């Protein structure tokens, strides 16, 4: 048995994961962000002990933790969402539980979960693209998380796709892909085109489905932005599969069919697209299952 | 002893490489492109036998071959420069020489050479960016060439950096990085700004050095384009080192110093740039040395 933890800025989700990648016990707590790392990690350890107690076991092989920001080995180097900087999670967790502890970026962890038990099962080279508040990414190379030389790889949302008059990005650059392809961007594009406020991403899909031409145009344009960065990723990394995650991935073929078409149109020299493009299958469980799979 | 071959569209360069990555014998021949693959490969085998004879040896461990296009294992899948499609180089070479044969894309091979014996010596995660007619790329991950799921990874020149009114690219897209950051692009930018014809890349650097303001501006702008794609690559892959190759790399610090400055300005949230940025050191030898290092 292994434990996977999805340590978010709002919630700590802990799951006990068996050898078939099934989550057999869960426990959830509030992060109450802003507290010292020691307190948050104590709560996380208590939630781990809780799932172990529920299952009637007193030890686990490993505890893997996915969190926003830069993390590798046993250390969270930098997580603005958690307000953690150079936090040695391994040492703090081992005060309460004797198990091997691993931490990793949450997008990388979700990608690992999808490769183990989700949309990319059996694949060894995959890129997960999460369309949410921003555009996140997780790269799996030769079956393992590829986190770069300093633990920060996979920031695929921060590739410039429009260098002149691009939209300002939180990262400090202008014209980053996430400013055009995130769920936030879709909402902004729809609000502008429809001249409405408080639209959700789901609204845009519903309006388009019901024949609203403006919404259809917004969506077509948006999915072209998505396909642009995906084609960049294929040209750079040529994975076996691109997994699309985030809330929008619930739309399944409604997004993957047009994206495949647009990517095919952009393939190098008109070559046949070989990379599969699918939506994620594990939803929020990807974070727990992927975290449970972390190892050296 | 190993043999490395740089099989280009114009020339076949063969080198006998020792365990210290030194090229101890060489032989060169014309590709005479357009001939059947069998003939070209027979010539290549003869050149290999020539370097072996010169050295007085009758066997080598491996023969590695770098070539333009998509190649992996023992097969050149697609090389428009050589006019080779699905050519089983291993079988054809083994008619003449009994050695293990490996083929790979030439940009990947050059990256491997620089990692073994050049600018990136000792590094395990590296990206080589070749600024030439186009912008080529080679990715080294965990000490090995990363060629993707289908042998086509590393086409980093074909990431869109300007999606609206971008310059048409040979790959079929518009606004690809190579249209702004290749040596060809620099020449075009200089010809436009200086309103002259037949300028070389070297001319632009010389003019700028001699105080020509227009040339200085062109160069500054050009190096910003270069740094834009490099920053994209750092955000996506975060290698230990970016190696800049191609003819322009002869300019050394004249290009790396401004590029480092521009990349630093674009770093995520203003973080300190950790990735080294250096020019290539092996020049044309990288292709031979890298090829000699190919293995399973």
> How confident is the model over A25-45, as pLDDT tens digits?
999 999 999 999 999 999 999
Cβ A238–B149 below 8 Å, yes or no?
yes
Q: What is the pLDDT of residues A45-54, one digit of tens each?
A: 999 999 999 9
B36 phi, psi to nearest 5 deg: -60, 145
Checking if the pLDDT of A21 tops 90, the result is yes
Mean of pLDDT values over A92-115: 96
Residue B141 neighbours by CB under 8 Å, 6+ apart: A141, A142, A146, B124, B125, B237
User: How are beta strands B62-67 and B70-72 bridged, if at all?
Assistant: unpaired
Angle of helix A253-266 versus helix A213-237 axis, rounded to 10: 60
Pairing of strands B2-7, B11-17: antiparallel
Q: Chain B residues with CB inside 8 Å of A235's CB?
A: 152, 155-156, 158-159
Judged by CB atoms closer than 8 Å, whether chains meet at A231 and B152 is answered as: no
Q: CA nearest B152 in A: which residue?
A: A238
A238 near B CB under 8 A: yes
DSSP label at residue B86: E
Structure tokens at A244: 């699309």
Mean pLDDT of all residues in B45-64 = 97
The per-residue DSSP string of A19-85 comes to TTS-EEEEEEEE--TTS-HHHHHHHHHHHHHHHHHHHT-S--SEEEEEESSEEETTEEEEETTTTEE
Task: Name the one residue in this structure whose structure tokens are 């002869």.
Answer: B250
Separation CA A253–CA A296 (nearest Å): 36
Cβ neighbour number for residue B77 with a 10 Å cutoff: 18
Closest-CA distance, B242 to chain A, in angstroms, reads 12
Is the model's pLDDT at B69 over the cut of 90?
no
Q: Kindly state whether B68 is in contact with chain A, defined as any CB-CB distance less than 8 angstroms.
A: no
Instruction: Residue B22: count other Cβ atoms within 10 Å of its Cβ.
Output: 12
Alpha-carbon distance A52 to nearest alpha carbon in chain B (angstroms): 36
Kindly determine whether residue A158 and residue B240, on different chains, have CB atoms separated by under 8 Å.
Answer: no
Cβ pair A231:B160 closer than 8 A: yes
Spatial separation of the C-alpha atoms in residues B154 and B158, rounded to whole Å? 9
Question: How far, in Å, CA of A227 to CA of A233, rounded?
Answer: 10
Cross-sheet strand order for the sheet of B23-30: B23-30, B11-17, B2-7, B62-67, B100-105
B137 close to A (CB below 8 A): yes
Chain B residue with Cα closest to A174: B266
- Which pTM does this prediction carry? 0.93
Within 10 Å of residue B229's Cβ, how many Cβ atoms? 24
Mean predicted confidence (pLDDT) in B74-82: 90
Q: In angstroms, rounded to a whole number, what is the distance separating the alpha carbons of residues B262 and B223?
A: 8
Joined together, the tokens standing for residue B174 give 């518009």
Average pLDDT over residues B222-249: 97
Using the Cα atoms of residue A53, residue A56, residue A58 and residue A64 in order, give the sign of their dihedral: negative
The whole-chain average pLDDT of chain B stands at 96
Measured distance CA(B10)–CA(B215) in Å, rounded: 32
Q: State the pLDDT confidence band at A72, using cuts at 50, 70 and 90.
A: confident
Task: State which residue of chain A sits closest to B80, comparing Cα positions.
Answer: A269
pLDDT over 90 (residue B296) = no
Report the C-alpha gap between A209 and A173 in whole angstroms: 35
Q: Which residues of A touch B146 (CB under 8 A)?
A: 141, 237
Query: What are B277's strand-pairing partners?
Result: B242
Q: Please report the pLDDT score of residue B80 as a whole number.
A: 84
What's the CA gap between B127 and B157, in Å, rounded? 12
Is some CB atom of chain A closer than 8 A to the CB atom of B122? no
Q: In which band, very low, low, confident or very high, does the pLDDT at A73 lie, cut at 50, 70 and 90?
A: confident
What is the mean pLDDT of the segment spanning B81-93?
A: 95
CB contact under 8 A, A172 and B270: yes
**Closest alpha carbon within chain B to A151:** B238
CA distance linking residue B255 with residue B249, whole number of Å:
8
B296 — contact with chain A (CB < 8 Å)?
Answer: no
Q: What share of chain B has pLDDT > 70, as a percent? A: 100
HEC-encoded secondary structure of A109-178: HHHHHHHHHCCCCCCCCEEEEEECCCEEEEEEECCEECCCCCCCCCCHHHCECECCCCCECCCCCECECH
Q: Which of A125, A278, A119, A265 is nearest to B152 (CA)?
A: A125
pLDDT digits (tens, 9 = 90+) for A186-198: 999 999 999 999 9
Q: Which residues of B177-191 are buried (b: 16+ CB within 10 A; e: fewer)?
A: bbbbbbbbbbbbbbe
Taking CB atoms and an 8 Å limit, are A150 and B236 in contact across chains?
A: no
Tell me which residue in B161, B172, B237 faces A266 most closely, judged by beta carbons: B172
What are the pLDDT digits (tens) for B132-147?
989 999 999 999 999 9
* B187 pLDDT higher than 90: yes
Nearest CA in chain A to B230: A159
A227: closest chain B residue by CA: B160
- Quickly state the pLDDT bin for B269 (edges 50, 70, 90): confident
Q: Rounded mean pLDDT of B190-210?
A: 97
Per-residue pLDDT at B58 exceeds 90: yes
Kindly state whether B106 is in contact with chain A, defined as any CB-CB distance less than 8 angstroms. Answer: no
The answer to whether A94 and A102 are in contact (CB under 8 A) is no
**Tokens (6 digits) for B178:** 């190579």
Complex ipTM over 0.90: yes
Residue B174 gets which letter from DSSP? B
Judge whether residue B151 has pLDDT over 90: no
B 198-217 → A contacts, CB under 8 A = none
A228 part of contact set with chain B, CB < 8 Å: yes
Closest residue by Cα to residue A84 from A103, A102, A100? A103
Average pLDDT along chain A: 96
**Residue B213: band (very low, low, confident or very high) from pLDDT cuts 50, 70, 90:** very high
Mean pLDDT of B65-93: 93
pLDDT in tens, A141-179: 999 999 999 888 999 999 999 999 999 999 999 999 999
């Amino acid at each position: 048995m292994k434990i996977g933890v999805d340590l978010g800025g709002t919630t700590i989700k802990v799951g006990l994961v068996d050898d078939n990648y099934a989550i057999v016990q869960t426990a959830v707590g509030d992060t109450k962000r802003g507290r010292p790392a020691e307190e948050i990690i104590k709560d996380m350890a208590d939630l781990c002990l809780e799932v172990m107690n529920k299952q009637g076991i007193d030890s686990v092989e490993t505890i893997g933790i996915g969190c926003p920001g830069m993390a590798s080995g046993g250390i969270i180097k930098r997580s603005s969402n958690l307000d953690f900087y150079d936090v040695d999670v391994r040492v703090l967790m081992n005060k309460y539980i004797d198990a091997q502890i691993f931490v990793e970026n949450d997008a990388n962890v979700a990608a690992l979960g999808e490769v183990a038990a989700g949309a990319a099962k059996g694949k060894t080279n995959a890129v997960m693209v999460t369309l949410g508040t921003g555009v996140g990414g997780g790269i799996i190379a030769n079956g393992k998380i590829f986190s770069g030389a300093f633990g920060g790889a996979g920031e695929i949302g921060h590739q410039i796709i429009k260098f002149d008059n691009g939209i300002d990005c939180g990262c400090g650059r202008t014209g980053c892909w996430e400013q055009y392809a995130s769920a936030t961007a879709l909402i902004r594009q729809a609000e502008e085109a429809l001249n409405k406020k408080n639209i959700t991403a789901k609204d845009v899909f519903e309006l388009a489905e019901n024949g609203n031409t403006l919404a259809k145009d917004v969506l077509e344009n948006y999915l072209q932005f998505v396909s642009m960065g995906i084609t960049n990723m294929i040209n750079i990394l040529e994975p076996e599969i691109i997994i699309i995650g985030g809330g929008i991935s619930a739309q399944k073929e409604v997004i993957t069919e047009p994206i495949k078409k647009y990517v095919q149109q952009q393939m190098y020299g008109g070559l046949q697209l070989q990379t599969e493009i699918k939506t994620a299958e594990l939803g929020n469980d990807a974070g727990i299952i992927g975290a449970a799979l972390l190892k050296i």
